[in-house]
Amino acid sequence: MTLTICDVGPRDGLQNEAKTLEPRVRAELCDRLAVAGLKRMEAASFVHPKLVPQMAGAEQVMAALRRKPGTVYAGLVLNEKGYERAVEAGVDEVHYAFAATDEFGRRNQNATTAEGLKTALALVARARSDRVPVTVTVSVAFGCPFEGPVPPERVLKIVEHLMNVPPDEVCLADTIGVGVPVQVRELVRGARAFGATIGAHFHNTRNTGYANALAALEEGVVSLDASVGGAGGCPFAPNATGNIATEDLVYLLRGMGVETGIDLDALIATSRWLGTQLGKDLPGMLARAGDYPARAASKL
Ligand code: ZN
């Protein structure tokens, strides 16, 4: 099995933290992740800085990166303007997200699902002609904080529409961490039936994130999002934790024989470094418990 892990820590992880990190520190986080062996990451978000002040200075983050050859530095965009900024700033890949429910879409990016879908199709066509790889993420695909449970048929209908102008990847996102594995299986299987290449994005708000990631893997996703340390939350879900922690996911995958090329010791060190930068303990467990079996003995 081959699987790419996309570390969304520099974006999803940091955009909901109380403490805002300077662009140069966010770039350093990306550099550390690349050194630890992450092949793909969301390095920056090209949303309006008034809406998400933690993400201000996306261009500065991109400019400060010490790019590692072979590593993909993606940028999140929510509209055409963001797309233009991201391409101008030199992202390797564009990640466009829109919501599976109208209310979440209105609050998050002032666009209903239908409007978000229209933009998706336009952006994918544009990215094709610009020769920029593009992933489209369907947010709140497993449940919405405003509209409640989201019927799988609704999400699958969205994926079917997306396949009219197929993106390189469709990512199904459990933005508020409410999904369970049977839901994951149904959605991933259904989406793949339309010929889509599928990735998945789980928050661990209700501790189902890792079980969901495993279910997604078994259903054939090619990519899983995770954030180092499990940093982050959701502005619409009080007490929400962040994404599943990259190092905890890598530990699980390595034990199952899924090779990711990621150096766990370096990733744990990055998780601890990020905790220091944010001035808090991050939710990831491996950075507390340590790897097993420990490799540290030789360094003592
Ligand atoms: Zn997220």
Coil/strand/helix, residue 74: strand
235 contacts 273 by C-beta, under 8 angstroms: no
280, with CB counted inside 10 A (0-12, 13-18, 19+), is middle
Ligand 1 centroid–CA 294 distance in Å is 31
Structure confidence at residue 300 (pLDDT): 44
Structure confidence at residue 241 (pLDDT): 78
129 contacts 111 by C-beta, under 8 angstroms: no
How far apart, in whole angstroms, are the C-alpha atoms of residue 274 and residue 7?
Answer: 13
Structure confidence at residue 1 (pLDDT): 58
**Would you identify the CATH topology of the domain 4-289?**
TIM Barrel (3.20.20)
How many Cβ atoms from other residues are within 10 Å of residue 198's Cβ? 22
Ligand 1 centroid–CA 256 distance in Å is 25
Question: In the beta sheet, which residues pair with residue 136?
Answer: 96, 170
Compute φ and ψ for 14, nearest 5 degrees.
-90, -20
Positions of the chain with pLDDT lower than 50, given as ranges? 298-300
Ligand 1 centroid–CA 169 distance in Å is 16
Structure confidence at residue 232 (pLDDT): 84
Ligand 1 centroid–CA 297 distance in Å is 36
For the chain, strand residue ranges (E) read: 4-7, 40-45, 72-77, 93-99, 134-139, 169-174, 198-202, 223-226
Nearest one of 151, 133, 131 to 141, comparing CA atoms: 151
Could you give the residue numbers annotated as active site?
234
71 contacts 42 by C-beta, under 8 angstroms: no
Ligand 1 centroid–CA 170 distance in Å is 14
170 contacts 190 by C-beta, under 8 angstroms: no
CA distances from 149 to 72, 109, 140, 179, 221 (A): 34, 20, 9, 9, 23
Ligand 1 centroid–CA 9 distance in Å is 10
Ligand 1 centroid–CA 189 distance in Å is 21
- Chain centroid to CA 272: how far? 20
Q: Which helix (H) or strand (E) holds 187?
A: helix 181-192
Question: At what angle are helices 80-88 and 113-130 packed, to 10 degrees?
Answer: 30
Structure confidence at residue 296 (pLDDT): 55
pTM: 0.96
Cα dihedral angle (208, 214, 215, 219), rounded to 10 degrees?
150
